[in-house]
Amino acid sequence: MQSFRTELENPVVEKEIIELERKIRAYREGSMVEDKFKSLRLARGIYGQRQPGVQMVRIKLPFGKATFKQLLRIADISDEYAIRNLHFTTRQDIQIHFVSLDRTPELWAKLAQDDITIREACGNTVRNVTASPQAGIDPEEPFDVSPYAHATFSYFLRNPICQELGRKFKFGFSSSTRDTAFAFGQDLGFIPKVRTVNNVEERGFRVILGGGLGAQPMAGHLVHEFLPEDQLIPYSESVLRVFDRYGERNNRNKARFKYLIQKLGLDEVKRLIAEEQIASKVKTFKIDRDAVPQPEPPELRPIEEEPVSNPIAYEVWKKTNTWEQKQTGYYAVYVKVPTGDMPTKDARVLIAGIRGHVADEVRITQNQGLLLKFAREESLPHIYNVLEKIGFAKPGFDSVADVTTCPGTDTCNLGISNSTEMARVLESLIYDEYEELVFDREIKIKISGCMNSCGQHGIANIGIHGSSLKADGRVVPAAQIMLGGGVLGDGLGRVAERVIKVPSKRVVSAVRLLLDDYLANSNPEERFHDYYDRQTKDYFYRMLKPLADLTTLIEDEFVDWGHQETYQQAIGVGECAGVVIDLVAVLLFEAEEKLGWANESYSAGAYADAIYHAYAVYISTAKALLLDKGIHSSTQIAIIRDFDKNFVESGEFLVSGGFEDRVLEINKHEPSEAFARQYLAGVIDFYQTVAAKRSVTAEVNG
């Protein structure tokens, strides 16, 4: 592996890449344990695939924004290091697959040349900050949320308070009350609001806390009707500090923020958030509203009239995939990308073809498509022709015919069934049998390869996730059908209910039954989830029950979509939730490393960061000693209290006032230089005492 020290202008990124290269070498040589390396790798967007020996690399694009140059750079990277494909995700990232681990530092260095990062795209961190792709051009928006999403991304990237959370944490900003970024399904979701006080317009957000998808999707809780814009960052920091300290760490299935609210109660969580505010790095945070300027519209010039091969198809596409922006005279164009996959050769043709006809900006959408901005009406036939040339001119963006899906068993360790081929089959069903539904944006079909909802099935009107059944001693690929989820608006939403499980090959019949019934029996203007409520879950269970009859299976139904061989369930160990590290030696090594970071931050005048790094040293060191006694504490607050109980109260460690009081001074003081110096001195003394004690123990046992 080569060094990239001379290639990058950003010294922070350069240092991170060199560090990744060094850690990969240590892992290859056996001097770094696998769990520790896995944690580090995930926090750099490098995720193990279902196929051994290769990696998926997730490229973090805040709120899905990329310039043409950046998209072409990613295409070049995919050609050189992956399989010449771009996979657009529901969190507005781009993933590339089948990458060699040893080449990831080189890959990152080349991405960084165009200001693209993979840092914290996976792992137990703040994941990609999402936002409505139409932000900035949405006729219904009170203001553009893009600068706020950008500020959130920038503030928490590399922030010590969220580098080792119990699990991932997700932000989402919707542009209007239509909630196209699914604020209700985020750990922290925001809906923009404007109010007038003393004839002065003020910006703020309706705040939804503790939503989430996954195996047990939950809608979030309204915690602020109007949070002033300058409190966005301070409030978010306090929430993350609470999650870091009180969030579950042993059972990762219960380690999301939604479960913390379930465990402690919303009122107690709100109290803890308020308690953290004194220690926050900032008490107010002025958002730079100009940080994400609108891209320049294409130069005004005469555009030749361009014929289309199929005028009727073009008119349908125009009605379903384009709309008038709030900027007069300009159109936005949605590009429907089936299964979120676009070959790099097609991406190049697309960009070459749309230059001069749209602005130099692409936004990835939450349903895995693309949004182009500032097209003039006379450019639409040309754009359609470009899309038709590469096979991406299908109508019905975000309609019933636009099925969201994750990669499933194509590449994911957790995939149970092939979600991508199922999505293709269902889209064909709509185009072939329900052509009028390409205009229907009320019904959403979403598929995940497992229960973890990467394909958003938990909030779909018709949601499907991969599963399995047993019949005659054999395993049958199956699909769990979920119904009745959806967006209600203004931060409110519904979670879909599990109705019945059917063999995967019968999903087409299930969807056909559901759509036929809805079209025949729903009231005018009745939305699908209202129809579901009126008919009741039992009605749909009885409707679909014949499809669950395993006595009528045929041989083809033992074969999953897109396969020729008989189905075998093969679930690997998922990495999307990170890992739990329990090795004592590793924890003490980590504590030493964090102590170095604390001293560096203090020397640089970053006192809040120094204090939080010092806090992390207390936690890692105490956890190491507790594990030495076989005590597995499930949260940071439990580590603190268990240390008091097992070491301080027994007299084994003398800590004046108790360990909890000493450590939790962190949220009782402003992050000043004086307090940073005091707190850092305390943790240095604690760490050195523990290190000396362990060294003596090692010699005695040696």
3-state secondary structure of 405: strand
Interatomic CA distance for residues 270 and 261, integer angstroms? 9
Residue 412: predicted pLDDT: 77
The sign of the torsion formed by the CA atoms of 364, 367, 370, 375 equals: negative
Dig out the tokens for 128 from the structure: 């990609």
Q: Which residues contact 388 (CB under 8 A, 6 or more apart)?
A: 308, 309
Residue 701: predicted pLDDT: 43
pLDDT in tens, 181-210: 999 999 999 999 999 999 999 999 999 999
Under a CB-based contact definition with an 8 Å cutoff, are residues 406 and 423 in contact?
A: no
Under a CB-based contact definition with an 8 Å cutoff, are residues 276 and 241 in contact?
A: yes
Low-confidence ranges of the chain (pLDDT < 50): 1-6, 572-573, 577-582, 696-702
Residue 335: predicted pLDDT: 98
Residue 109: predicted pLDDT: 94
Residue 693: CA count within 13 A, CB half-sphere: 15
Residue 580: predicted pLDDT: 38
Residue 450: predicted pLDDT: 86
- Superfamily of segment(s) 135-279: Sulfite Reductase Hemoprotein, domain 1 (3.30.413.10)
Pick the closest to residue 462 from 529, 397, 413 (CA basis). 529
Written as one string, the DSSP assignment of 467-519 is: EEEEETTEEEEEEEEEES-EEEETTEEEPPEEEEEEEGGGHHHHHHHHHHHHH
| 584-701 CATH fold | Four Helix Bundle (Hemerythrin (Met), subunit A) (1.20.120)
Question: Looking at domain 311-390, which of 3.90.470.20, 3.10.20.740, 3.30.420.40, 3.90.480.10 is its CATH number?
Answer: 3.90.480.10
Dig out the tokens for 181 from the structure: 């970024």
* CATH architecture of the domain formed by 405-558: 2-Layer Sandwich (3.30)
* Angle, CA of 381, 386 and 391, to the nearest 5°: 115
How long a stretch of residues is the chain?
Answer: 702
Measured in degrees and rounded to the nearest 5, phi and psi for residue 673 equal -60, -40
Which residue ranges make up each domain of the chain? 11-112, 135-279, 311-390, 405-558, 584-701
Domains 311-390 and 584-701 agree in fold: no
Residue 655: predicted pLDDT: 86
* CATH architecture of the domain formed by 11-112: Alpha-Beta Complex (3.90)
Under a CB-based contact definition with an 8 Å cutoff, are residues 81 and 99 in contact?
A: yes
Measured in degrees and rounded to the nearest 5, phi and psi for residue 94 equal -120, 130
Pick the closest to residue 186 from 218, 224, 162, 160 (CA basis). 218
Alpha carbon 215 to its chain's center: 15
Interatomic CA distance for residues 369 and 322, integer angstroms? 13
